[in-house]
Amino acid sequence: MRILILTHRRPFPQNGGYPIVVGNTVKGLVSLGHNVSLISINVKKQSFKPTERDELLDKIKYVEYDIDTRLTMMEAFSNLFTKNPYNIDKYYNAGFERLLVKDIKENNYDIIQFEGLFVAPYLSAIRKITKAKLIYRAHNIEHQVWQKLAQQKNDPIKRWYLSLLARRIKTYELELLDNFDGIVVFTHQDKNTMLSYDIKIPIRALPIGIDLTKYQPDALKTEFPSLFFLGSLDWLPNREGIEWFIENFHKDLIDGSLKVKFYVAGHNIPEAYDDYEVPGKVFIQGEVDNALEFVNSKSIMIVPLLSGGGMRVKIVEGMAMQKCIISTALGAEGINFTDGTNIIIANNTDEFYNAILKCIADEHFSREIGLNARKLVEKQHDLNTITANLVGFYQSII
């Protein structure tokens, strides 16, 4: 099949959940012999260094188009008086639309896959010019992310504004979905949510798939005990979660009973986080050169997610690297886990505290959790199996 994938950000380098999912999907489709094109919006704040080139680019047709998604204060203010969600509207660009139309007219695609809601503004223009089947892959139920963010805010103005955005996104999202030919979600929870909205088109739940050959844990290089967080902080739920964790546990980590070094790494960590650093105890490392090496070097992973949706790529990767993971139930959503066997679920400060205390005190217990986590990923998240199921879904609607 000839397949076009559209993304709202460049998926190279693969330094976050969205790029990893897109990159793995492309890799899986290419390995099955499909002809894949990838067209991406590249927001101005991102730069593409030659050293970051991925070998996958040599196996596909890849085009990226620069747009500026930054809003002026005036634009943000004026948007309050419209019905449109600004955080989706800002990804529309007439030049990018012309590029898409030209490419699609020149190529006889069988499938065009929209990776998330932020490329949906181009749906109507694409629908007019192609007979390809249009697939929407929901990385989460977008309006639910904003609803949960709003619920976590104590500031009434912030809560009102985020609730306003959530309502606008929900209206946009629900009006859009039945205009596709098929929908792919990562979790059965998201599938059930969509079915509750009386969506008429086929919906398939397929979990995140990863290339297990890339994940080769080496216990000899792992510091025990050590606690770590890895995530992109330009995604608001990640920032909210890690700030909640630091606010509640910073004192215990630096002079309390949690005798463990704590490392924070990821993309777009604000400079202000440097204030959390405590020599020999709390380390704010920013973006690391090799994420898997970083994960391998630490023993206990925390995922203190309080809002958001979909399936967390970093948990799947952490499981593949045999990490002992402590997560909220929301963070582990969609993963077929068994609490206390292949992950530890903690939903409040007391549960997180007790889980950390147990894990740092019992190395055998922590390692058993990690080994069981790897077995789960091997069984349910193998890229080859997931990709074959995705292709089967394509074929069912062509």
213-380 shares the fold of 2-209+383-397: yes
Inform me whether the pLDDT recorded for 258 exceeds 60: yes
Q: What are phi and psi of 62, to 5 degrees?
A: -125, 130
Tokens of 8: 């709202």
Residue 44, pLDDT score = 66
Q: Find out whether 316 and 208 touch, Cβ atoms under 8 Å.
A: yes
Percentage of the chain exceeding pLDDT 70? 94
With CA atoms as reference, report the closest residue to 212 among 343, 376, 52.
376
**Residue of 14 and 381 predicted with greater confidence:** 381
Span 340-364, pLDDT tens digits:
999 999 999 999 999 999 999 999 9
Local confidence band at 50 (pLDDT 50, 70, 90 cut-offs): very low
Q: Is the pLDDT of residue 167 over 70?
A: yes
Mean per-residue pLDDT over the chain, rounded: 92
Q: Is the pLDDT of residue 255 over 50?
A: yes
Write the CATH number of the domain with boundaries 213-380.
Answer: 3.40.50.2000
Q: Are strands 261-265 and 282-286 parallel, antiparallel or unpaired?
A: parallel
Tokens representing 264? 């924070």
For the chain, give the secondary structure using H, E and C: CEEEEEECCCCCCCCCHHHHHHHHHHHHHHHCCCEEEEEEEEECCCCCCHHHCCHHHHHCEEEEEEECCCCCHHHHHHHHHCCCCHHHHCCCCHHHHHHHHHHHHHCCCCEEEEECHHHHHHHHHHHCCCCCEEEEEECCCHHHHHHHHHHHCCCHHHHHHHHHHHHHHHHHHHHHHCCCCEEEECCHHHHHHHHHCCCCCCEEECCCCECHHHCCCCHHHCCCCEEEEECCCCCHHHHHHHHHHHHHHHHHHHHCCCCCEEEEECCCCCHHHHHHCECCCEEEEECCCCHHHHHHHCCEEEECCCCCCCCCHHHHHHHHCCCEEEECCCCCCCCCCCECCCEEECCCHHHHHHHHHHHHHCHHHHHHHHHHHHHHHHHHCEHHHHHHHHHHHHHHHC
Between CA 389 and CA 213 the distance in angstroms is 20
Comparing 149-158, 173-182, 287-296, the range with the smallest average pLDDT is 149-158
Of 66-75, 174-183, 223-232, 320-329, least confident by mean pLDDT is 66-75
pLDDT digits (tens, 9 = 90+) for 108-156: 999 999 999 999 999 999 999 999 999 999 998 888 888 888 887 888 8
**Position 304 pLDDT exceeds 60:** yes
Residue 45 has pLDDT above 60, yes or no: no
Q: Using one digit for the tens of pLDDT, what is the confidence trace for 90-114?
A: 899 999 999 999 999 999 999 999 9
Position 385 pLDDT exceeds 80: yes
- Give the number of other CB atoms < 10 A from CB of residue 232: 18
Ordered by start, the domain boundaries in the chain are: 2-209+383-397, 213-380
Q: What is the pLDDT of residue 43?
A: 87
Residue 53 has a pLDDT of 57
pLDDT-derived band at 51 (thresholds 50, 70, 90) equals very low
**Band of residue 1 on the pLDDT scale cut at 50, 70, 90:** very high
Q: What superfamily in CATH does domain 2-209+383-397 come from?
A: Glycogen Phosphorylase B; (3.40.50.2000)
Amino acid, single-letter form, for residue 23: G
Q: What is the dihedral of CA 282, 288, 294, 298, to 10 degrees?
A: 10
Which of these, 14, 31, 30, lies nearest to 22 by C-alpha position? 14
Torsion of CA 312, 383, 205, 331, to 10 degrees: -10
